[in-house]
């Protein structure tokens, strides 16, 4: 039976910065930048920026809730914004940059309101959460040059996201503050060396290089889902290798120039742990990438234990 497809609409300030966090994630069909909340039909970018239309910059996401639940989208939304700012977002000021969740049905409204209340009561912010939760209104796609801006103008996009203050705010607010001394006590020497000191374990002498059991591989420290056995293959290198992550948002890429080489390092977004590297010598039929990971940076959850350990939602990975 085919899944139902839903829409989610979020206003998080400049819509350039609200596409990338959702775009390539599992279950996402499309992410469109646009305008909503006001009463002017088919407004232009200039009109909306004049703060006279009642519209805000927003993104509309078409998604499969069986793969990417609405709750997860809302959690991601909160982690892109300053929900305590009533006058805009970061360097962008005015009503067109105000934040809001526009719900498309009563279930979305309930989820959003509960999530907002939980965030407000969590103590994460010293000021109250002021992001509004509103019924969805007509959504007008923005001009073509604003669509997928993070891809089309990637250099300027990176400068803008950093320069606006958004990037640093996200890192400071949502990154895990790890106690290195405590970690050193809790982790094995090789786990600490790999995750905190960018180390590499020995090939063919690590826990998962030849593991063929069905299941998922999660971040050792944060528990975030990283890879699936469905995408694991024997690359002959002696480390667990995968063709892709389960959710590309959970990992980040960094330039690594250590040891006289130029490589692309893979780190966990939430814990900032070193995981391994990605190379372009993977199976061509699966995209050509090889995510060469360290077993010591991950924990394996067998398929039959996923539900009891809180990962039941990811069982969709094994449906076909």
Both tokens of residue 212? 């063929």
- Exposure b/e, 166-181, CB count within 10 A at least 16 = b: beebbeeeeeeeeeee
Decide if 17 is catalytic.
no
| CA-derived radius of gyration, the chain | 21
Strands (E), 20-79: 28-36, 56-63
Decide if 292 is catalytic.
yes
105-to-8, 135, 137, 313 alpha-carbon distances in Å: 10, 8, 12, 22
| Start-to-end CA span in the chain (Å) | 13
- Among candidate residues 14, 17, 49, 237, the one labeled active-site is 14
Containing H/E element for 142? Answer: none
Both tokens of residue 97? 């940059």
- Among candidate residues 17, 49, 237, 292, the one labeled active-site is 292
What gap in Å lies between CA 21 and CA 82, rounded to an integer? 15
Residue 141, phi then psi, degrees to nearest 5: -55, 140
Both tokens of residue 312? 């039941």
Which residues form the catalytic set?
Answer: 14, 292
């Amino acid at each position: 039976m085919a899944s139902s497809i839903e829409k989610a609409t979020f206003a998080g300030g400049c819509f350039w910065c609200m596409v990338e966090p959702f775009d390539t994630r599992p279950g996402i069909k499309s992410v469109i930048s646009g305008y909503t909340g006001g009463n002017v039909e088919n407004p232009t970018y200039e009109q909306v920026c004049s703060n006279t239309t009642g519209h805000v910059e927003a993104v509309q996401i078409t998604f499969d809730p069986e793969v990417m639940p609405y709750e997860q989208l809302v959690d991601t939304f909160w982690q892109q914004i300053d929900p305590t700012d009533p006058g805009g977002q970061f360097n962008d000021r005015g009503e067109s940059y105000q934040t809001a969740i526009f719900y498309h049905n009563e279930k979305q409204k309930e989820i959003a309101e509960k999530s907002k209340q939980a965030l407000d009561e969590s103590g994460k912010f010293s000021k109250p959460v002021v992001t509004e939760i509103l019924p969805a209104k007509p959504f007008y796609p923005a001009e073509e040059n604003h669509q997928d801006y993070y891809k089309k103008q990637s250099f300027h996009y990176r400068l803008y996201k950093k320069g606006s203050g958004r990037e640093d705010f996200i890192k400071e607010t949502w990154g895990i503050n790890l106690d290195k001394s405590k970690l050193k006590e809790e982790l094995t020497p090789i786990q600490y060396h790999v995750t905190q000191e960018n180390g590499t374990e020995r090939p063919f002498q690590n826990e998962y290089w030849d593991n063929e059991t069905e299941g998922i591989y999660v971040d050792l420290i944060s528990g975030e889902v990283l890879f699936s056995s469905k995408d694991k293959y024997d690359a002959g290198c002696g480390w667990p290798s995968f063709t892709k992550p389960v959710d590309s948002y959970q990992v980040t890429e960094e330039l690594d120039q250590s040891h006289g080489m130029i490589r692309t390092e893979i780190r966990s977004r939430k814990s900032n742990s070193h995981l391994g590297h990605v190379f372009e010598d993977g199976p061509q039929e699966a995209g050509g990438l090889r995510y060469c990971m360290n077993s010591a940076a991950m924990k394996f959850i067998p398929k039959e234990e996923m539900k009891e350990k809180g990962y039941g939602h990811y069982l969709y990975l094994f449906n076909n």
